[in-house]
Amino acid sequence: MRESDIVDQDGWLRGARRVDSPNYDARLAGEPPSLLVIHAISLPPEQFGGDAIIRFFSNTLDVGEHPYYQQISGLRVSSHFLIRRDGELIQFVSCNMRAWHAGISSWLGRQRCNDYSIGIELEGCDDLPFEHEQYAQLLRLVEALRVVYPIDAIVGHSDISPGRKTDPGPCFDWGRLDSQGRLPGPLD
Q: Where are the domains of the chain?
A: 3-178
**Does position 58 have pLDDT exceeding 70, yes or no?**
yes
Strand partners, 40: 122
In the chain, pLDDT over 70 holds for what percent of residues? 91
CATH number of 3-178: 3.40.80.10
Q: Write the pLDDT tens digit of every residue in 17-37.
A: 999 999 999 999 888 999 999
**Does position 180 have pLDDT exceeding 60, yes or no?**
no
Question: Among residues 3, 31, 65, 121, which one is catalytic?
Answer: 121
Q: Write the pLDDT tens digit of every residue in 83-141.
A: 999 999 999 999 999 999 999 999 999 999 999 999 999 999 999 999 999 999 999 99
Contact (Cβ atoms closer than 8 angstroms) between residue 78 and residue 57: yes
Known catalytic membership, residue 121: yes
